[in-house]
Structure 1
Amino acid sequence: MSIIKSPIQYYNNIQLEYFSQKIKKTMVPANTPYVNRHVDELLSYGKITRTDRILDVGCGMGKYTLNMLAKGYKVEGLDLNAFLLQQFLRYNDNRFPVKLHLADIIEAPEELNEQFDYVIGFMVLHHLHILHTCFQSMYRLLKPGGKIIFLEPNPYNPLFHMQIWFTPGMSYEGEKGLKDMTQKNITKALNFAEFTNVDIHRFGAFPPAVYNSNLGRKIDHAFSKASILSPVMAFQLISATKPVAI
């Protein structure tokens, strides 16, 4: 007799352990040019307004969610990890009224079905288990005509692989979904979940330590305008639409 492990539960356990061992500096909420740039790029790319209801999947400690709340957006958070959501509450310190949902995205409460104009996330897709299934769940949470928008690392950018190799606490076991963040894989998973209008936009070149300097920002924005560098830009914005039933 043998014990058969659920592949989703096994993967989630790895992620829970990876993010609960200790607080990672890269996840701590901070109002920096780097964080602001990511938030502003996603909001602008998606044409998101302050009247839209937004769900931030994998919100973690609130690094990006708190930034959007401070800008006046109606955003809620969802995360698998209770420890991270507790840290979110600590960093929020009752500044903003916010709903936080503790759940795997595929087990999001049914009362959230068709409640959101946008389902978004920052650096979270490559930590999820089966993309096809996760996109299906996001699909049911969206209103007809709603959109998903995710900011993800570009697997063809060498800086991310260097970061994994040389950053204490990072590993390919925790970040192994990075290799799946190709346009082909993402588009296939989104089409399987019946999303339409799939689009990918790449930008950025430098990590926070460089981008947060004035010179670093100037060079980064110049690189982002060079279309020839698009295939290896550091970040990619992924969007798709839930069609309106006719």
Structure 2
Amino acid sequence: MIGKVSSPPDISVVLPVYRTAEFLDPLYQRLSSVLKSQLLSYEFIFVDDASPDNAQEVLQRLVRQDPDVRIVSLNTNQGQHGAVMEGFRHAQGKIIAVMDADLQDEPEVIPKLLADLNERHPIVFAGRVGKYESAFRLWCSKLHKGLLFILTGLPRNAGMFFVCRSEVVKRLLGFRISRPFIPVLLARTGFPMLSLPVVRKKRTIGQSAYSHWKRFRMTFNALLCVLKTGPSFWVKIENEPKKETIKIQTEALRHHLHNREQIFYFDRKIKTTMIPEETPYNQKQVEALLQVLGLPKGAKILEVGCGMGRQTFLLAKRGYQVDGLDLVPYLLQKLHEYNKGRFAIRTFCCDVLDHPSEMDGQYDAVVGFFVLHHLDALHASFSAMARFLKPGGMMGFVEPNPYNLLYYFQILFSPRMTWKGDGGFIRMRKRILFHAMEQAGISPGPVIRFGFFPRFFVNCPRLTDLDTFLARVPFWNAFLPFQIFWGKLDTIPSKRT
């Protein structure tokens, strides 16, 4: 590497260089001007990805001109994402920015991205919009990004122009991936992501280094990256005193990242269906569960995943003592706003696996509505929830039916749903949940399925009775949209050590 930085700068800008020699001088001028206007100390890390043009000659001149310019030279072409990862290994800034070196990404956008970069949003993308390529390439790009959105929750217009905090890059470098695809890795870090729409200009000089074949390979690498960084991946941890590399199976880290993803998912994608309303649809779910559990009035209930109180208020209105537990602070804040002091509802903002010990053995029933499919570790979660119950306490959950095709279409076409956020409903099957319940000392009862029409039909007064009638037809019972998993605590769960 050529060039040195005396002290860590405010921002490191990583720029992969391949056949972009003619852009380097104007790029440097515009970048340095923008960052100086923001009163930021900086370093420019140009990664020469074995570029066949005279890029190295131009970069050497920039190093002599500005001590804050650094060059990382690669002997063989690693591709855009491999080059950026190499640049990350040399970046020292508190903030890291990544952009292309062909000026299709405008340096003047960086202050806009930095303005929204904070602890709440440690990754901010410049979302690509506009007609910056041919119609066919834009269509292929839309298909590619739409698929990644479904699989990982990555913003639909996210690309390789973004800013992030240094801790994001540290976690990113922990992935052991031979062919990295950086946007997917960013999504897998579990840090919240924000995308700001930015119009991208057409290339004015030369042609893109991405041929149709290279784009196909990029999509293949992206999907491979999704698979390799799935539920169980390996993380490299450096032991500083001994300089040893330790491989660990990341169950605890996976759960932590899952929780961060869920918080981000519900913190930024509030669905209108979560707003508390006394609709026939919501009341039907509450009545169906209460009928199965047979709880007496005044029973003490804990609702896990209470959200903004859509069912919580309906339970309290029916004379039950209700507490709520949720992982997302914003949802609990909205619950209290909607409550307006009507009901005495205590709320706990925590993970069921790490709840206050004062909650153990306090409840006659633990219930939840569409929450189990958002949990990461079902067996551990059921064991933790069993500790909430008094001896002989009841447990009941309303969940979507994976054999009903409606949910697949909802995730595919609803802009506020993703496979990463809601795809856990495919685990809501009898064999999986019964095993988890039995391991927790819960004796499961028979699965109850109900409902027929989607929400907007059920809320129509003329169709409510028809919905009930059709749900009673035995022929399609296995495919009804809602199912109740319930049971009774048989054995007192062991206390936490």
Q: Name the TM-score, length of structure 1 as normaliser.
A: 0.95
| Bigger-Rg structure (1/2) | 2
Counterpart secondary structure, 1:146: strand
Amino acid at match of 1:18: Y
Matched ranges for 1:153-232 at <5 A: 153-232=400-479
Single out whichever of 81-90 and 222-231 deviates more from structure 2.
Answer: 222-231
Tell me which amino acid in the other structure corresponds to 2:377. Answer: I
Match for residue 237 of structure 1 among 468, 484, 487: 484
User: Could you say which residue in structure 2 is the equivalent of 1:49?
Assistant: 296
Match of 2:309 in 1: 62
Q: How does 1:25-174 map to 2 (within 5 A)?
A: 25-174=272-421
What is the one-letter code of the residue matched to 1:219?
A: L
* Alpha-carbon distance between aligned partners in 1 of 2:353 and 2:270, rounded to the nearest angstrom: 25
Q: Which has the higher contact order (CA 8 A, sep 6+)?
A: 1
Q: TM-score, normalised by structure 2?
A: 0.48
The offset of 1:162, in angstroms, is: 1.3
More displaced, 52-61 or 198-207?
A: 198-207
SS in 2 for 1:9: helix
Percent identity for Structure 1 against Structure 2: 37
| Distance in structure 2 (CA, Å) of the matches to 1:197 and 1:235 | 17
Instruction: Return the alpha-carbon distance in structure 2 between the equivalents of residues 221 and 18 of structure 1.
Output: 33
Give SS of 1:205's match. Answer: coil
Match of 1:77, SS state, is strand
List per-residue Cα deviations over 1:58-89 (Å, max 9, x = no partner): 00000000111122211110001101000101
Which 4+ stretches in 1 moved above 2 angstroms? Answer: 1-5
Q: Deviations over 1:212-233 (max 9, x none)?
A: 1123212211111112211001
Farther off after superposition, 195-204 or 76-85: 195-204
The partner residue of 1:8 within 255, 260, 277 is 255
Partners of 1:206 and 1:108 in 2: how far apart? 37
Amino acid of the residue matched to residue 61 of structure 1? Answer: M
Match of 1:20 in 2: 267
Are the equivalent residues in 2 in contact too, given 1:15–1:127 (CA < 8 A)? yes
Q: CA deviation at 1:244?
A: 5.3
Q: Kindly indicate whether the alpha-carbon contact (under 8 Å) linking 1:29 and 1:91 is maintained by their aligned counterparts in 2.
A: yes
SS at match of 2:385: helix
Rounded to whole Å, the distance in 2 between the matches of 1:60 and 1:188 is 27
Is the 1:190–1:198 contact (alpha carbons within 8 Å) kept by the matching residues of 2? no
Per-residue CA deviation, residues 162-188 of structure 1 (Å, 9 max, x unaligned), is 111121110110012111001111111
Q: Which secondary structure does the structure 1 equivalent of 2:392 belong to?
A: strand
**Is there any run of 5+ residues in structure 1 with no aligned partner, and where?**
none
Q: What amino acid maps onto 1:79 in structure 2?
A: D
Compute the displacement of 1:189 (Å).
Answer: 1.1
Q: For residue 9 of structure 1, what is the amino acid of its counterpart?
A: H
What is the letter of the counterpart of residue 462 of structure 2?
Answer: L
Q: Give the number of aligned pairs.
A: 245
**RMSD across aligned positions (CA):** 1.4
In structure 2, C-alpha distance between the alignment counterparts of 1:228 and 1:103, rounded to whole Å:
42
Query: Unaligned 5+ residue runs, structure 2?
Result: 1-173, 175-235, 238-247, 493-497
Question: Residue by residue, what CA displacement relative to the aligned partner does 1:106-138 show, whole Å, maximum 9, x if unpaired?
Answer: 112111111111000000000011100000001
Report the residue type matching 1:135 in the other structure: F
